[in-house]
Amino acid sequence: MYFEGIKTIEELKKEFRRLAFLYHPDIGGNEEIFKSINNEYDDMLNSLKDKDTFKSESQQKESDNFKDIISKIIHIKDDISMEVCGLFLWISGNTKPHKELFKSLGFYYSSKKKAWYYKPVWYRGFNKQEWTMEEIRNSYGSQKVKTDYEKDENKKTYKNLGSKTKAKKKTKNNFIMVNKTS
């Protein structure tokens, strides 16, 4: 139902990531739907394992830990921005307080892009050229993910629009900040 047409584990993980950001109960999704997604993910993962589609033990371990990674980063309430580009997950913004968490989950820091990224363990890049985020987005596609922080800020904006407030759009991290006027 949720994972129709999936033929590889990479496709399965990508689709699970997309669905988790839409239906996870901690970000406003439905708990029953998310349980159904989890069950279908487990069934599909076992099916793909049976077909021996894993390239290595490290890829199998990564796939098993994938749900844990998503559930740990989806709760961050700081001013961060998450973006899925191909099989990579990029996190930027106020990430410093979560540096150790990202490291423990297998993220790497790109000092030129000022962002953390998660890549499949089996992935080995052969292109030594430095790409900008715009080039990465154009080549692999991009999907921004609203964090709990961004959703909370949007709720404050809509809640306070009736009172004396001035809304300013902060475009760097694509979220709305509200400054109260006196």
pLDDT single digits (tens) 54-66: 455 656 666 666 6
List the single range of 141-145, 148-152, 160-164 with lowest mean pLDDT: 160-164
Which helix (H) or strand (E) segment holds residue 180: the answer is strand 175-180
**Distance separating alpha carbons of residues 181 and 114, to the nearest angstrom:** 33
Given a cut of 80, whether residue 51 has pLDDT beyond it is: no
**Res 150: pLDDT:** 61
pLDDT band at 102 (very low <50, low <70, confident <90, very high): very high
Neighbours of 56 (CB within 10 A): 10
Q: Give me the percent of the chain exceeding a pLDDT of 70.
A: 69
Q: With CA atoms as reference, report the closest residue to 178 among 162, 170, 168.
A: 168
- Enter the pTM of the model: 0.53
Longest distance between any two alpha carbons in the chain, whole Å: 65
Phi and psi based region of residue 64 (left: phi greater than 0; alpha: psi -120 to 50; beta: remaining)? alpha
Q: Which residues of 35-51 are buried (b: 16+ CB within 10 A; e: fewer)?
A: eebbebbeebbeebeee
Domain ranges of the chain: 1-75, 78-145, 146-182
The Cα 30–Cα 19 span in angstroms is 11
The band of 21, judged by pLDDT with boundaries at 50, 70 and 90, is confident
Residue 73 contacts residue 99 (beta carbons within 8 Å)? no
**Beta strand residue intervals within 67-174, DSSP E:** 80-85, 88-93, 108-110, 115-118, 143-145, 165-170
